[in-house]
Each structure stands twice: as C-alpha cells, then as structure tokens.
A and B are shown apart, each in its own frame.
Chain A
Amino acid sequence: MSLARKLLLGLVIACIPMQVFAWNWRTKISLSLKDQPLSVACEWMEKEYGIHFSYSRDVVTMTRRVTLRVKDVPLRRVLDQLFTENGIQYKRIGDQLVLTVKHAASRTISGFVEDAVTGEKLIGATVYAPGLHTGTTSNQYGFYSLTTAKDTSSLSVSYIGYKPVSIPLKDGESRRVNIKLSPANTLQEVEVTDNLPKLQEQTQMSKVNLAVSQTKTMPRMLGEADVLRTIQAMPGVSGGMEGSSGIHVRGGSPDQNLILLDGTPVYNSTHAFGIFSVFNPDMVKNVELYKGAFPARYGGRLSSVVDISMKDGDMHEYHGEVSLGLLASKVMVEGPIAKGKTSFIVTGRRTYADLLAQQVAQQQLNLGKEGEFWLYFFDANAKINHIFSQKDRLYFSAYGGRDHLSVKRDHEFDTMNGEAKRYHEQMRFRLGWGNQAYSLRWNHIFSPRLFSNTTLNYSQFNFNTDYQYKYMALDTPRVQESDNMNGRYFSKVQNAGGKIDFDYRPNPNHAVRFGLQATYNIFQPGILRFNNISDNQQLTDTSYNDETSGGLELAVYFEDDWRIGDSVHLNLGVHASSFFVPGRSYLSVQPRLGFRYLLPRRWALKLSNTVMTQYLHLLTNSATYMPTDLWVAATDKVPPMHANQVAAGLAKTSQSGMYEVSVEGYYKTMFNVIEYNELADNFQSATRSWEDNVIVGRGWSYGGEFFLQKKKGDFRGWIGYTLAWSQRSFPNVNQGRVFPYKYDRRHDVELVLTQRLGKRWELSAQWQYASGAPLSLPVGSYEETGESSPHMPPPQEPGGEVDIVGNRNMLRMQDVHRLDLGATHVKERKKVKYTLNISLYNVYNQQNPFFYYYKRNNETRARELTMLSILPILPSVSYSIRF
C-alpha cells in the first residue's frame, strides 16, 4: 500500500467515528420547549445535534406535552428530564437512541380524603402524582385509588376551600394513605364540593357540581337558602312557575328527575306546593346534577339526575347550629359517638307561621275554645357513620319531612244562620303529604384497587287527607239529629331496594364501575275509605280502589372511563334493566357513551350519547307537580318512557383554575311521554281504567348552553345562557301537531355574582331573564245552560259562560326578569360563628306573569283578560349561630 493510500485510509477511519458518533452522553444540549409534544423535542435534537431516535408510535406515547428550558446541559440529564419522568426509557444502539416504554413496577396508593378537623369525607378531591402527570379524584365516599410508578416520590392533594398538601411516599410499596386536609381560613363556610378536575380532564359532560356554600351566600327567598333554587340558576335548568323550586331539565318534566338523597330516590322534592325544596342545606354536603351524558350507574328516569350527599357528622368534636329565619327555624347537632370511629349528625327544620296565626284562625274559622289550627312543614335528617376497620365503614341515613294542615273544631252553637238552634259540632280535617327515605350503606375495600358500596334503601311518598265529623242537635227531644262520619283518602308510592356498586381502578388508564340494583315498587294510587252513621243508622262503611300493586326493577351496569391516549378518552357504559309487573315484563338496554378529545390550547371536545328508560308514570293534570299526583307503573297500553340524548360541547378550565367555560349543544327525543286527561276533580284515584284517560305521545328538546364561571378570588360568580326548544306531540292534542311544552322558554340568562368585602361581609346578586313561557287561553266563549225549562228558579249567583279551550300552548306570556340581592355577615368569636343574612327578593319589584285568566268586572259584568303577578319585593333576614 502506498503512503498516499495509507494516509487516505487513516483519514477515512478517523473520520467515521467523528461522523457516526458525533454525540456522546456529555454532549452539551441547549433546548427551549413550551408545552410541546415529546416528538418535537426529538425532531429538534435530531436536526441540531444529529441524534437519531428510533421508536414505535404505537408503543411509545410521543404526544405527551413537555415544557423544558436548558442551556448547555449534558445530553443524559436532558434525556432523563424528557423521558424518564414520562415513563419512557432510552438506550443507545449504534448511532441511534432507541425509545421504549419503561416497564417500571407500579404500586397502588389508596385511602380516604377527609377534613382534618371534622373527619368529614371529601368528595371529588384531586390526588395527583406531579412527576407522572397522572391522578385521580376521590369518589362519593371520599375513597381514592391511584396506581402509579413504584418510584413515585410524592402525591399532591388539593380541594377548594382547603390547603393543598404534598404527601411524601417513602418506599415503593402499595399502601393505604388516609389524607387529611385542613380548611383554608376563609370567610366562607368550608366548601365541601366543586373541586373536580379541570373540565378538560373530565370525560363527563352535561354535569353541574353545586357548591353548597354558594347556595348559602346567594340571595334567599324569605330567608331560606335552597339547593334546588341554586340549581335553577344553571343553564339547561328551568324553574317552571314563578317562585317554584321545581326543576325542568332540558325540556323534561319534574317526574323525569331522579332525585337521590344518599342514594335513595325522593319522589317529591318540594314543600308547600313546590315553593321550597325538602333538602335542608345545613345537611347537604354535595350536589351533582346530570343534565345528560348520564353515567351508567344511574337509571330509571329520563331527564336528569340530582345526586345529593348528606354530611357525615364531625368525628372529633361536638357542634351545633341554630338558625332563625322569617319563615322557618332550623337546628343542627353533630359530633362523635366514639371519637374517630363513629359520628352522628341530626338536623330539623319547621315553619312557624301557624303558631302566629293560631288565634286568628280560631276566630275566623269558628273553631271553638278547644279548636286547633296547624299549618306547617317540617323535615328532619339524621345520619350515623361508623368506621369498623380500615376496610369497612357503615352509614345510616334517614330523612323524613311533611307538609301538614289540620283544623279541629269543637264548638257548641246557639244559632244557625241567625236563627235559634242549639247544636254541638266536632270536626277534624287533616291534609298532609311527605317523604321518607332511609339508606344503610356499607363501604368495603376489597383491595387498594377495588372499592365497593352496598346499599339497602327504602323510600316512600304519601298523601293523606281525612275528616271526622260529629254533629249532635241539642234541642232534644224536639229535634233529633246526629251525624258521626269519617273519611280518608290516601295515596302512597314506596320502594325498597338493594344495590351493590364496585369502583375498580386497575391502572390510571381505566376507572371501572359496575354493579347490580334491585328495586321493588309498591303503588297505592288513591284509596278512599268512608264511614257514616246518621241518626244511629249506618249509611256507609266501605272503601274504594283499595288495591295495591307492585313492580320489580332489576338492573346491571358497567362503565369504563378509559384513557386511550393523552388526548383521547372514552367513557363506555351500558345500563340494562328489566321491569316486572304481574303478567308482563319489559327489558331495556341503555348504552351510555362519552368521548373526549383534547384540542390545542387545552380545550376539550366532548361528545356523548345516552339512552334512558323510565318505568314509572306520574298521572297529573296539574300545571305543576302536585302532591295529589299519582305514580303508576307502565302497562302495555301505556308503555315505559324512553329518551335518547346526544350532546356535543367544548370545555376548558383555565390553568390557574380561576375560570371555567363550557359550551354544549344537545338533542333529545322522548318516546311514550303521557298526558292524563282525567278531570281535575276532588281526590281522584287511579282505578284500573286509568289507562283510558291517558294519551301517549312524543317529545323533543334541543338547544345550546353557555356557562362561564369565575371560581376563585374575592369576586366570583357565573353567567349562564340557554337557547332551547322543547316540544310535545300527542294524537289528540292540537290535531296531532307538534306544540311547545309548557315550560319551553327560548332564551334564559342567569347571572350570579358574589363579592367578599373584607373578612366579614359577602355580597351576592342574582339576575335572571327568561323568554315568556307558553300559554293557553280560551279562544272563544258561549252561553251555558243547566235547565230544561226557563221557568225554574234562577241560581242564587247568575250563571257564567263556557270557555272554548283552543290549541295548547300557542300563545306566550310576557318575558320575565328579576334581580335578587343578598348580604351575609360572619363574625367568629371564641369558636362561635354568627352569621347574618339579609336578602331582598325581586329588588325592582318586577311584576312577572304567574297566571292569566278572565276576571269578571263586577261593575260592568264584562270579563277582562287579567295577568296575575305574585312575589313582589320581599325582604328577609335570617340569623344563625354555630358553635
């Protein structure tokens, strides 16, 4: 070999490593990335430093976003920061860096998140592994389970209203870690809800989490804070009639709401014909409203789920609270039965207008000295929870509430219509309705990844009215007259059930829930009993429609919240149920699908499609939900209701968690919705022929909702806007044409603002505007008759007219709007907290339409279309002391 050749060969050999191995582990790297996918980092290093990367896109997730700024840092350290913390391992093979998934051993951290002071379990607390950017939230019982890399060194736990904590994890073992969070020192009551992960981190859509503290600081009507009234201020929820606390969700009727109190359905959620909700806010820990995208674990109603959790009671100290309001007073006591093991909480509420009106009523109704007059509603809650072991907890919850009117007359009379006649009259009339709900729940932790809850529950709603009447003529023996009669009408619906729910977290990519439910319903739709003895002769001793029927509903469900990739999540679920009544059965398979895709700038695109079935019908011919309405089971002629809802939306929570914004559109179709055509007469029964008075039709609702909320800071609040259409169609109504549903409102704007002033004051304002509701008015009138001959004596009051009822809901009431203001002052002294709330309802005294009717002008005898408005400006004050 010539010298020249040797030199050339040496140069080539010397150059090869310089070219092929142009980098080593100590190569200084400068890199600046802000929220970029890992793949961008690789492309940058390949371009700038000639470092080639090899990986399979199917195996290694390179879409994970990173932020990294380094200057002249050794390559190995840069790679560690980029890959190791993201579960990717790298290996040099030749001139390439081969990337593979790091199969690091994992471990599961599980336990409960609770209030450090009271031991109250916290629902929806975020438990997060910062290094891996993965986390979970505590479930309805405060339980969490996070399977993470074995070398995870710490967990970050946060919850609004509490100080966030970082929990160090010393070894690499699976373990149970119960996390205690201390309340932040704020003016507000501890906020025990509303801290779900950011909207873009939830596949769930069409859901509202309600802060109970928000309910308490909002303006109040007659001094009563109301959970359902706060829900009404959310987009997609309409309140129905002015002043009512009923809820109509996305065009659904009130009977289509599944309202759960500690997992037990409550049939009638309102007191006083719908004006106040039955849920005492002092007892409520957490409220979740699902307007659509129903998780598979819920079933049995078409339009919404309101899942209310009651407080557990303080495990460590005794507390009490007494509240005085314009309308009602409340009392609450909580504390440990065995410190750290068993706690209880009891609340009670009663209105007292009757106590003030007792004497007036006695005189006005001529009740006599022994007479009585009672008119009130009350409710009471009790809950006990006991920790048996690290793995087992037991909860017993009870609710009872009732609206009650009773009048008792016991009086001797000397005259009758101005003429001498002595007689003794005893009369007692009672009218009342109420709910009872009980649940016994057992939490058991099978393993750090598998949590179960077993529930036994019972619920009932009953309406009862009865009278006793005794009459005795005292001018005996000249006049011998006596009556002794009594009668009773009642209706009742009951259900008793059991269910077992499992919560399984195999790894951070899957959150699985599955379970079984069985519910037995008992219906007594209107039973009448009478007994009448007149002049010692038995005239009546009988009962009508004394029938009880039952129906068994069985259901199974499964759902998996599946993280397919960093940007793609899927919620797959199915709820299958069957309903058995004597002689027939129904089966329904209801798919529940949710999808989330993370768009640029951290916006989440969400889609959902859910099917719901309802086996129970409510027979009502009321304009609102009345306690006399009757629940019945579906039949072949009046089949179960079904609904299908699709929804799409965009949602985002800002980086700081300060703002939350969501936009949703939905389309819902409802099948087998009913109209009950029975006359609105006195205390009716659903006899066997009730089906003949029902027409079956369809419903549609669609629209869009916008929600912007500021969640942190001294100034908070939200604005919600709803654009909605809600329609029905029945064969015999409006000639079969589609017509607007009675609470169809095109536009609805809700603005809620709160402002803290210093440490003691918080001001709130709520303004709402809604387009006019549909209205039906007579479209003509004509002369009435009741006589076969004009020679009969005329009635004492002249006869009226017949109004021609035209097409349903073809007119519109005028638009409604209203401003309410509230101010809350809190003073704390020696562990005693004094709270004063002053509210002003309908500040500018807007006369919103409640009802339209033709009123006769007594002077001209002409009938004039008249708009009735209620609830003018109403100031109220309430005061509470908590110790």
Chain B
Amino acid sequence: MMLIFSLAAACEKQVNIPIPYDGDKIVVNGLLQPDSLLYIRITRSQPPGASVFPEIADAGVEVKAGGQWLPVQRQEIGGKGYFVSLAPVAAHLSYSITVTAPGLDTAHAADTLPRRPFLREPFAQAGGNRVKFLLKDLPGKDFYRFRLFSGEKNAAGVVVPVKRLRYRFDPSYNNSFTDLITNNYLESTLIPDERFDGRETTIVMQTEEMNKAGDYLLLEVTGLTYDTWHYMKTLEVQNANEGNLLVEQNRVHSNVNGGYGIFGGLHAAYLEIAIK
C-alpha cells in the first residue's frame, strides 16, 4: 500500500553511469517452423539501452539440415533484411547454423523440431466471448504457446491471420490470478504441459472482444523445443519485470554460442473457427 503511495510520489531523472561494454556480437534470430521457409535475422548487439540494431547484411550464413547444406538467400521483407532458406523446413531433421562476420566472433547454434500439437473441436459463438477447443497432449514434456488471430479467407479459401487478438486464460494453467481483477488480456500465453501431461484437455479462452457472426478466428497452438521455450519464457519474464524494483534482473536464454539470440524449433498447429 505504502509502496503504491510512495511510487505515486516517485521522481525520475535521466542519469549517466559508465557501463562496461564487451563490444558487438552476432545476434542470430531464427525460428524453425516445419513446412515453412526459414527466415533468419542477423544483427549486431549494441550497448545497453539501444533500441536500433544494425543488420549484418554481409554475414556469412551456413545452415545445415540433417547434415546437408540448406542454401539461404538474403531478402528484404517489410524494410528488414532476412536470410531466407530456399527450401522449407522439414519436421524430422535437426538444424544448425554458423554465422560469420568481419571483426566479430563466429556464432553457432543448433536445434531440432518439436512435435505438432493436436487440436480439435473448436467452438466460438456469436455474441459470446469464449473460444473453446480440445488439446490432446502426448505423454512426455511439451511446451506450448497459445495465440489467437482474427482471420479472413484468402482466394484459396484458407483462413489466414490478419490481426492478433487478446484473451485471457483460465488461471489454473498459468497462475495469473490477477488477470481477473486487472482485466488483463494477453496476445500470447506460454504454458508447459505439467498440468495436463498425456491428457486431452478442454481449454477455454475468454476474449477481450465479443465474437461476431460471420467472422473467422484462427487459433494457433505452437509446440516449442526446450531452447525456444526457455528463450520465450525468460524474455516474457524480463519484459514483465522491466522497471519492477522488487525482483532481480533475469537473464534471457540464448542457444547461440559466440553470440546471442535464438535458433530454435517450433511447430504450430492451427484451427479455423467460423463464428456462428
């Protein structure tokens, strides 16, 4: 209570503290989705506080899929440069990457691909604000990311994501007790299968906006490898705790040796939901 009062009376000022900087390192950001091309961002790390990260356009990028070279080509998409594979990612292979750049340490990372989640029986009714579906979890450790999009049908009759939607989860999966009082809605939720390992579970998401008849929703549930999960979870916690004076800073996981970032596998499953 006092904390709230005190913080209300808090005063902020910009300061300058000399912070030792180790120098730039290669940052590799690439998430492997089966049956999709691989998009890799290669950038430089920057001194603390930076918000712009220069791309290393001339980086040497070598990707191997199951021990075989997977050629990549630099492309510009949405004003950003990516190294894009010339063939889609295959679900059963393991992948590795080596990135070199003049004056920087060589970066190397590797990961596999996780299994695809099983989803069925989606349900959302017009005038309601619920999305319901069944998730079948297989025995063994699985990590999931849940997202919800509003979608629209393309020319091929396939629903494609258009906009991210916000929702909240049953706290029994993520302990987010306070979401209920703060009316906090999220764009994504990271949940391990500890609480429903090997079972088929009905999951209900409460959406921030009301469902409208004729609209389409696209539910995405993504299986994550341990590295991808650990990266996303530690990043989520770091972002959530930014400016939180009560907790120690946490380190974001990286599986890139000699650099930073994530080169990890994920496997998304989608359910189209037509609101009736």
**A interface residues, Cβ below 8 angstroms from B:** 222, 241, 243, 272-273, 275-276, 327, 351, 353-354, 365, 375-377, 407, 409, 416-417, 419, 421, 427, 429, 465-467, 469, 471, 473, 475, 478-481, 483, 485, 487, 489, 528, 530, 532, 534-535, 537, 539-540, 542, 544, 621-624, 626, 679-684, 775-796, 800-806, 810-811, 814, 847, 850-856, 861-872, 874
Is B73 at the interface (CB under 8 A from chain A)?
A: no
Nearest Cβ in chain B — how far from A842, in angstroms? 11
A480 to B125, CA, bound (A): 9
* CB atoms of B31 and A787 under 8 A apart: yes
Nearest Cβ in chain B — how far from A240, in angstroms? 12
* CB atoms of A856 and B161 under 8 A apart: no
Residues of B within 8 A of A796 (CB): 164, 166, 187
A130 to B20, CA, bound (A): 67
Residues of A within 8 A of B164 (CB): 793-796
Q: Of B127, B129, B171, which one neighbours A487 at CB under 8 angstroms?
A: B171
Q: Of A471, A480, A778, A866, which one neighbours B13 at CB under 8 angstroms?
A: A866
A303 to B44, CA, bound (A): 46
Determine the residue in chain B with the shortest Cβ distance to A872.
Answer: B9
From known contacts A376-B1, A419-B210, A779-B22, infer whether A622 and B178 are also in contact, taking CB-CB under 8 Å.
no
* CB atoms of A785 and B170 under 8 A apart: no
From known contacts A417-B210, A793-B163, A872-B9, infer whether A865 and B1 are also in contact, taking CB-CB under 8 Å.
no
Instruction: Produce 1/0 per residue, B143-178, CB < 8 A to A.
Output: 000000100000000000111101000111011111
Nearest Cβ in chain A — how far from B76, in angstroms? 10
* CB atoms of A275 and B2 under 8 A apart: yes
* CB atoms of A867 and B13 under 8 A apart: yes
From known contacts A487-B177, A783-B41, infer whether A473 and B128 are also in contact, taking CB-CB under 8 Å.
yes
**B1-21 CB contacts (< 8 Å) to partner A:** 1-3, 5-7, 9-17, 19-21
**B191-245 CB contacts (< 8 Å) to partner A:** 195, 201-202, 204, 206, 208-210, 232-235, 237-239, 241-243, 245
Contact sample, A vs B, 21 pairs, CB 8 Å cutoff: A365-B181, A417-B208, A419-B209, A473-B127, A483-B206, A485-B170, A528-B172, A534-B130, A622-B248, A623-B246, A679-B233, A681-B175, A780-B48, A782-B46, A783-B29, A789-B33, A802-B260, A806-B22, A854-B48, A863-B49, A871-B9
* CB atoms of A805 and B251 under 8 A apart: yes
From known contacts A621-B248, A865-B15, infer whether A781 and B48 are also in contact, taking CB-CB under 8 Å.
yes
Nearest Cβ in chain A — how far from B227, in angstroms? 13
Nearest Cβ in chain A — how far from B176, in angstroms? 6
- Which 8 A-B residue pairings sit nearest by Cβ, starting from the closest? A530-B172, A788-B33, A785-B29, A851-B245, A788-B31, A682-B175, A782-B45, A479-B127
Determine the residue in chain B with the shortest Cβ distance to A869.
Answer: B11
**B interface residues, Cβ below 8 angstroms from A:** 1-3, 5-7, 9-17, 19-22, 25, 27, 29-33, 36-39, 41, 43-51, 53, 77-78, 80, 82, 125-130, 132, 149, 161-164, 166, 170-172, 174-178, 180-181, 187-188, 195, 201-202, 204, 206, 208-210, 232-235, 237-239, 241-243, 245-252, 260-262, 266, 268
Residues of A within 8 A of B161 (CB): 792-793
Residues of B within 8 A of A409 (CB): 181
* CB atoms of A276 and B180 under 8 A apart: no
* CB atoms of A861 and B208 under 8 A apart: no
* CB atoms of B10 and A783 under 8 A apart: no
Q: Of B21, B177, B206, B243, which one neighbours A429 at CB under 8 angstroms?
A: B177
Residues of A within 8 A of B162 (CB): 793
* CB atoms of A532 and B13 under 8 A apart: no
A868 to B46, CA, bound (A): 24
A780 to B19, CA, bound (A): 9
Nearest Cβ in chain B — how far from A783, in angstroms? 4
From known contacts A485-B170, A802-B235, infer whether A781 and B20 are also in contact, taking CB-CB under 8 Å.
no
Residues of A within 8 A of B252 (CB): 802-803, 805
Residues of A within 8 A of B80 (CB): 790
* CB atoms of B53 and A783 under 8 A apart: yes
* CB atoms of A872 and B48 under 8 A apart: no
From known contacts A272-B1, A481-B129, A680-B250, infer whether A623 and B10 are also in contact, taking CB-CB under 8 Å.
no
From known contacts A275-B3, A855-B243, infer whether A683 and B232 are also in contact, taking CB-CB under 8 Å.
no
* CB atoms of B2 and A682 under 8 A apart: no
* CB atoms of A790 and B19 under 8 A apart: no
Determine the residue in chain B with the shortest Cβ distance to A800.
Answer: B239
Between B15, B22, B80, the greatest number of chain A beta carbons within 10 A of the residue's beta carbon is seen for B15
Residues of B within 8 A of A779 (CB): 19-22, 48
A475 to B178, CA, bound (A): 27
A427 to B80, CA, bound (A): 45
Residues of B within 8 A of A862 (CB): 49, 51
